[in-house]
Structure 1
């Protein structure tokens, strides 16, 4: 699909115009994963909400939502469309606030910290956030996994430590040792620090299968909780699980300064490295001190 921006918050996709109402619907649905809850949140009927999505799918020629259990989630195409709206919002927003984009875990952490700064925080994958940073439309890039920075020799500033835990359904086979992971099926999460878990399993000569790959740790969590045959590794700061690979998967949550034009950016980063460390610890991360 070819994207072009038009108007205040409208996108032209293959010659068709999609306005702010669709963006609102996708943004709400990505959080609630329920059409009825999103319709209530937007103060419209469920019928109107559903018709809005179906009309967009008809024009696009692709599915942007799918049923999962009793809820509704965005498909890969739906997530891509929402991401384009978010990128455009960042580009058109003229503000003195600090614009931050990054992975779901790192941006979730920043959103949870009380801070004396005006910030606009946009959550996506590390890769998509990095693309925004390259285009110069954000002030700070946050990374759930420093791999992107390592690969490109970019200086980054660690603000916390995290590690991965093994997550599964209560009905799943009990895992007590690394050898118990042999032959298991896993759900992968694109752009996450899971590479550390996969590298560790290979180091221990464990055979395993990645049978599904999703874009969000929260989607992976739902999948494994609803299947006794699937497992995944997720960030310990957000999920409870088996700490079998705790020391193998410890990694830093980091920030990268993109813009040099706002003095408050340096002040914000100093805040994260000092005064915010207690709040970071309360959120389940290991502080830098």
Structure 2
């Protein structure tokens, strides 16, 4: 599939133009999980909203939304399309606001804190976020896992600590020791700090199986909770679980200053290192020592 930017936030996909209306619809649906709520938010009828999605799906040749219970969510293809729109928005928009892009956990933290200035916060994988930062399209890069910074010798600024907890299917056996993990089936999350868990299991000579890979910790959580005998490791700041590998998987949530010319960048860093630490702790993260 070929993507090409056209205009402000229109993009061309395999010769067809998709404009900002589809982008707005996908952006809204990703948050509301409801076509009716999104239609109301965009001040259009539910019929118009539904037709917009169906028309796009017909042109694209694949589903971008799906029914889940009483709501509607984006498919993985829909999320990928939304992320392409977001990339173009970040690169094209020139505003006084600070553009922040990063991993799902770190951007979720910043979204939950009232920052001392206006900021546009975009969530993606660490790898995609780094690519946007490399192009100079963002002001601040946030990282769920400092591995990218270490590998590229970047100066990163720690703002919090987090660790991973073990999440298991409801009917799974009780796990009391690391040896109990032998032979278990796991869900992997791309671009997350899970590498610390896998490295730890390898260090303890634990044989394990990766049964499925997803792109979101929330997708992994739902998959495990709705399956039998599946397990995963997720961030303790967002999920409650077994702290078996707490000390093995402790890691920093960090920022990388990309734009040196905006005073708000330094202001954010100062704020998060001082009074912002209280807000960080209130969100379930461990403050810097």
- Tell me the TM-score normalised to structure 1 length: 0.94
Instruction: Name the SS of the counterpart of 1:221 in structure 2.
Output: helix
Aligned counterpart, 2:270 = 270
User: How far has the Cα of 1:52 moved from its partner?
Assistant: 2.1
User: How far has the Cα of 1:228 moved from its partner?
Assistant: 2.4
Q: 1:54-133 to 2 correspondence within 5 Å? A: 54-68=54-68, 71-133=71-133
Aligned counterpart, 1:11 = 11
Aligned counterpart, 1:169 = 169
Aligned counterpart, 1:218 = 218
> In the aligned structure 2, how far is the partner of 1:93 from the partner of 1:39?
25
Q: Structure 1, residues 224-256: CA drift from partner, whole Å, max 9, x if none?
A: 111122111110001111101100100000000
Change (3 A) 1:193 1:59: same
After superposing the two structures, state which structure 1 stretch, 172-181 or 44-53, moved more: 44-53
Q: Structure 1, residues 190-237: CA drift from partner, whole Å, max 9, x if none?
A: 100000011111111111111111111111111111112211111000
Aligned counterpart, 2:178 = 178
Residue pair 1:23, 1:85 contacting (<8 A) in 2 also = yes
- Count of residue pairs brought into register by the alignment: 289
Instruction: Name the SS of the counterpart of 2:17 in structure 1.
Output: strand
Q: Structure 1, residues 162-189: CA drift from partner, whole Å, max 9, x if none?
A: 0000112333322222122111111111
> In the aligned structure 1, how far is the partner of 2:160 from the partner of 2:25?
33
After superposing the two structures, state which structure 1 stretch, 234-243 or 71-80, moved more: 71-80
User: How far has the Cα of 1:44 moved from its partner?
Assistant: 4.0
User: How far has the Cα of 1:36 moved from its partner?
Assistant: 4.3
After superposing the two structures, state which structure 1 stretch, 250-259 or 166-175, moved more: 166-175
User: How far has the Cα of 1:62 moved from its partner?
Assistant: 2.6
Instruction: Name the SS of the counterpart of 1:247 in structure 2.
Output: coil
Aligned counterpart, 2:22 = 22
> In the aligned structure 2, how far is the partner of 1:220 from the partner of 1:249?
18
Change (3 A) 1:43 1:225: farther
After superposing the two structures, state which structure 1 stretch, 26-35 or 184-193, moved more: 26-35
Change (3 A) 1:39 1:210: farther
Q: Structure 1, residues 55-83: CA drift from partner, whole Å, max 9, x if none?
A: 21221123323445554433332222101
Residue pair 1:173, 1:228 contacting (<8 A) in 2 also = no
After superposing the two structures, state which structure 1 stretch, 21-30 or 225-234, moved more: 21-30
> In the aligned structure 1, how far is the partner of 2:76 from the partner of 2:142?
22
Instruction: Name the SS of the counterpart of 1:261 in structure 2.
Output: coil
RMSD value, Cα: 1.7
Instruction: Name the SS of the counterpart of 1:161 in structure 2.
Output: strand
* Structure 1 alignment gaps of length 5 or more: none
Q: Structure 1, residues 21-66: CA drift from partner, whole Å, max 9, x if none?
A: 2112222222233444434443444443333222212211233234
Change (3 A) 1:209 1:31: farther
Instruction: Name the SS of the counterpart of 1:211 in structure 2.
Output: strand
Aligned counterpart, 1:258 = 258
After superposing the two structures, state which structure 1 stretch, 70-79 or 211-220, moved more: 70-79
After superposing the two structures, state which structure 1 stretch, 136-145 or 166-175, moved more: 166-175
> In the aligned structure 2, how far is the partner of 1:178 from the partner of 1:32?
39
Q: Structure 1, residues 95-150: CA drift from partner, whole Å, max 9, x if none?
A: 11111100010011111112211211111111111111011010100000011111
